[in-house]
Structure 1
């Protein structure tokens, strides 16, 4: 009966992690939408929702401590609980970067964009796919899928380099692009960092599944 109670608690804990991933996934979508559409109201809504993510992280963290203290988990269970405590920190950081994007959106306001926003939404779409596959790999402890997700980080890195090069050239040609160009560079950087944190989560999933500490990239 003790074991059944533990497994039920662990299942519930994993479901809460999945819920946190889904909420942050929506923030990723909305944060870039707010920039593309110059939707200041949506940007402010994303910023407000970050408190909910922080609360979820703290609640899950408390439950991991309780499980370790009260249930004395066995080796793999301990690995899962330890990894969850790290995974939720990475998820929370992704949420923070969504907030950062929205802050840049608010600074840009209703200005016309200095260039069509093509690569930034493309980065967002790839990140959303990475995150969805990360969620699936977490639910099923699919370490092969986790590896594949981590390898997609290179695509994001290359897109960020393209944005960086293009905007720097625009700024070099005309100084009037400096202000907004710098803000768009920050947005690209925040998206690139999101992919890094998603890769960290995938490394934790591999550790849960295989017991191996790996560095995918």
Structure 2
């Protein structure tokens, strides 16, 4: 069995890997939205390709967690911390998937559409990125006060999402290009909303880690 010092060293390394993965998801959302607003198809393709790195890193972190459990045979808080690590990286990987889907929406729209994109999408992105940065800080510091605040931040994203969908439903699409525009913008808003939901899941994981209580921040 490993020494406590070695276990804590490997836990710190694991946490740094998780933070790095979260930063990749942050970058993916930024770039996918840039691709959408700037009609940058090459950047969109890059986001899709880079998502493979997120998947690969998630798998590597999962392997580290399993190895740590096998070597250390942790109990109580130590075991809970490792289980939470698995939950958090799953949410981050899915955040990466949502960013990838926005990039795919950008490629489907192409660079020929003339309609202005709704600024609410930018507001949604900015709110989601602030949420992610807050979640990373809460994860590093096991700060339940910040974790609790993620629910309120997520409400803002939800309201913006509803506004985008309402606006899209009010549009009259008379040809296939306009139908495609309405669909892809509504989908993109949904992907950002889901991105934010996974951040609140991380908040829930932090609360469970620290307090041992199951809390639904998406309720």
Q: TM-score range by the shorter chain?
A: over 0.9
C-alpha root-mean-square deviation of aligned residues, in Å?
1.1
1:23 Cα offset (Å): 1.0
Instruction: For residue 113 of structure 1, report the CA deviation from its aligned partner.
Output: 4.2
Establish whether residue 37 from structure 1 lines up as the match of residue 38 from structure 2: yes
Q: Does 1:12 align with 2:13?
A: yes
Residues 205/175 of structure 1: CA separation in 2 closer, same or farther (3 Å cut): same
Residues 24 and 36 of structure 1, relative CA distance in 2, 3 Å threshold: same
Shift >3 Å, 4+ stretches: none
Moved more, 136-145 or 146-155: 146-155
CA contact (8 A) 2:125 2:192 kept: yes
The secondary structure found in structure 2 opposite 1:73 is coil
The answer on 1:188 being equivalent to 2:189 is yes
Distance 1:212 1:189 in 2: 29
| 2:57 corresponding residue in structure 1 | 56
Question: Please, what TM-score do these two structures have when normalized by structure 1?
Answer: 0.96
Contact map agreement 1:31 1:43 (CA 8 A) in 2: yes
Contact 1:150 1:198 (C-alpha < 8 Å) held by counterparts: no
Q: Report what 1:69 is aligned to.
A: 70
**What is residue 175 of structure 1 aligned with on the other side?**
174
5 Å-filtered alignment, 1:68-217, equals 68-171=69-172, 174-176=173-175, 177-216=178-217, 217=219
- Report how far residue 178 of structure 1 moved: 1.6
8 Å CA contact retained: 1:114, 1:181: no
- Report the 3-state secondary structure (helix = DSSP H, G, I; strand = E; otherwise coil) of the residue aligned with 2:171: helix
Question: For residues 79 and 48 of structure 1, what CA distance do their matches in structure 2 show?
Answer: 33
- The question of whether the paired residues in 2 share the 8 Å contact of 1:36 and 1:117 is answered with no
Asked whether the equivalents of residues 17 and 88 of structure 1 are also in contact (C-alpha less than 8 Å), the reply is yes
Any stretches of 5+ residues in structure 1 without a counterpart? none
CA distance in 2: counterparts of 1:102 and 1:116, whole angstroms = 15
**CA 181–113 in structure 1, closer or farther in 2 if over 3 Å, else same:** farther
1:74 CA drift (Å): 2.8
SS at match of 1:175: coil
Structure 2 unaligned residues grouped into runs of 5+: none
Once the two structures are TM-superposed, the CA of residue 156 in structure 1 deviates from its matched residue by: 0.8
CA separation of 1:63 and 1:119: change in aligned 2, threshold 3 A: same
In 1, Cα distance between the equivalents of 2:40 and 2:165?
A: 24
Partner in structure 2 of residue 47 of structure 1: 48
Mapped partners of 2:114, 2:199: distance in 1: 29
Deviation, 1:211, is 1.2
Distance (whole Å) between structure 2 residues aligned to residue 66 and residue 150 of structure 1: 33
